Structure 1
Amino acid sequence: MSLDKYTLHKDGKSEKWRLEKEGSNRAKAQFDTKSEALKSLRDTVGPSGGSVRIRKVDNTIQEERTYPRSKDPKKSKG
């Protein structure tokens, strides 16, 4: 079973950080700050888990995280 994939990015119009599921333009959640979003990712993604691609303000990829960690398919330190 594959994990749901999400992207966290800053919306240029609203200036909010949006968490969107891959293939959808609709936000699963919106946050005022990136730090608020990062603190809430585990709860927002939910118990079924998912992979979150975190982008910088310039839209380049900063990192990718898997929640819960036990569902990460790669056995790496990162």
Structure 2
Amino acid sequence: MGKNQHVTPHSKGGWQVIGAGNDRATVRTETQAEAIQIGRRIAINQQSELVIHGTNGQIREKNSYGSDPFPPKG
């Protein structure tokens, strides 16, 4: 399982896709929709989770593309 991918606002404008624990963005885009599309492809490829943040930085949505246990624990 790969690193979770986060879609967050970029400090210089636009949006970025960044792997969990990374210092640098994987990609920077003009729109959030573009970043989500790229982040989703990476998360599917790595069988990880896509975490989408809003403009305020708070988590807005999570999508898992890994092998989640069913039924979920807890």
Which residue number in structure 2 is paired with residue 49 of structure 1? 47
8 Å Cα contact 1:29-1:44 kept in structure 2: no
Is structure 2 residue 50 aligned with structure 1 residue 63? no
Alignment of 1:1-78 (within 5 A): 2-12=1-11, 14-45=12-43, 47-67=45-65, 71-73=66-68, 75=70
For residues 11 and 19 of structure 1, the distance between their equivalents in structure 2, rounded to whole angstroms, comes to 9
Name the % identity. Answer: 17
Distance change >3 Å, CA 6–CA 40, structure 1 → 2: closer
* Higher RCO (CA 8 Å, separation ≥ 6 residues): 2
CA RMSD of aligned residues (A): 2.1
Show structure 2 runs of 5+ residues with no match.
Answer: none
TM-score by length of 2: 0.74
**Structure 1 residue ranges (4+ consecutive) displaced by more than 3 angstroms after TM superposition:** none
What is the CA–CA distance in structure 2 between the aligned matches of 1:45 and 1:35, rounded to whole Å?
15
In the TM superposition, residue 65 of structure 1 has moved relative to its aligned partner by: 1.2
Give the strand-richer structure, 1 or 2.
1
